[in-house]
């Protein structure tokens, strides 16, 4: 795991059932939808948009979407902290570096390596627990600004993540 901070979504899980469901539904329903369109409209004007819609749904179904991996130990909201804490001592006694791949967690032991994967994009980063927090209700981890930038969550400030550790 050393030196590897990002894993493509294909390696950490996809919602296969979502894609299979839509693919089967489209393959079974397409002929019936075309016939209904021809019968109802009496011309082919309705059939082309209907067929394009069905094909679009099939593409979406095959693409799937990033899924929360089965090996997640915790799922919830992540936030980040940066410049206002840079250089201050953390709960572990080391100075906080906003550019490092570190994080704050309420209960995990210091120096635990945690894999943080953003649920909506599949971006992942490995961080080391060096502080305590977050102190805002509903959040499970506070990331350093460097880790948050790697996950692409600087603009929004928070993101739904999946945490796994050993």
3-state secondary structure 98-139: CCCCEEECCCCCCCCEEEEEECCCCCEEEEEEEECCCCCCCE
| Whether residue 58 sits in one domain with residue 78 | no
Domain assignment present for residue 130? The answer is yes
Q: Say if residue 141's pLDDT is above 60.
A: yes
| Whether residue 81 sits in one domain with residue 50 | no
Interior/surface letters 2-26, b for 16+ CB within 10 angstroms, e for the rest: eeebebebeebbbeeebbeebeeeb
Range of the domain at 14: 9-63
> How is residue 44 annotated by DSSP?
S
Domain assignment present for residue 4? The answer is no
pLDDT in tens, 7-18: 455 444 444 455
| Whether residue 158 sits in one domain with residue 90 | yes
Contact status, residue 144 vs residue 81, Cβ threshold 8 Å: yes
Domain assignment present for residue 105? The answer is yes
pLDDT in tens, 42-73: 655 555 555 556 556 555 554 544 555 557 99
| Whether residue 78 sits in one domain with residue 59 | no
The number of distinct structural domains making up the chain is 2
| Whether residue 81 sits in one domain with residue 146 | yes
| Whether residue 130 sits in one domain with residue 110 | yes
Question: Mean pLDDT across the stretch 9-30?
Answer: 59
Least confident of 3-7, 95-99, 150-154, 162-166: 3-7
Cis peptide before 70 (omega within 30 of 0): no
Domain assignment present for residue 99? The answer is yes
| Whether residue 92 sits in one domain with residue 43 | no
Question: Mean pLDDT across the stretch 100-116?
Answer: 96
User: Which tokens go with 65?
Assistant: 């979407």
Domain assignment present for residue 2? The answer is no
| Whether residue 105 sits in one domain with residue 24 | no
């Amino acid at each position: 795991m050393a030196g590897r901070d990002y894993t493509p979504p294909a390696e950490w899980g996809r919602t296969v059932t979502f894609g299979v469901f839509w693919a089967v539904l489209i393959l079974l329903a397409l002929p019936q939808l075309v016939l209904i369109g021809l019968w109802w409209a009496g011309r082919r004007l309705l059939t082309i948009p209907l067929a394009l819609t069905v094909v679009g749904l099939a593409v979406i179904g095959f693409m799937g979407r990033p899924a929360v991996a089965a090996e997640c130990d915790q799922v919830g909201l992540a936030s980040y902290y940066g410049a206002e804490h840079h250089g201050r001592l953390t709960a572990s006694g080391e100075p906080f570096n906003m550019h490092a791949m570190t994080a704050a967690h309420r209960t995990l032991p210091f120096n635990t390596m945690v894999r943080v994967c953003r649920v909506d994009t599949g971006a992942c980063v490995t961080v080391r627990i060096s502080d305590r927090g977050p102190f805002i209700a509903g959040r499970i981890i506070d990331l350093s600004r460097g880790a948050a930038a790697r996950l692409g969550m600087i603009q929004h400030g928070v993101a739904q993540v999946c945490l796994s550790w050993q």
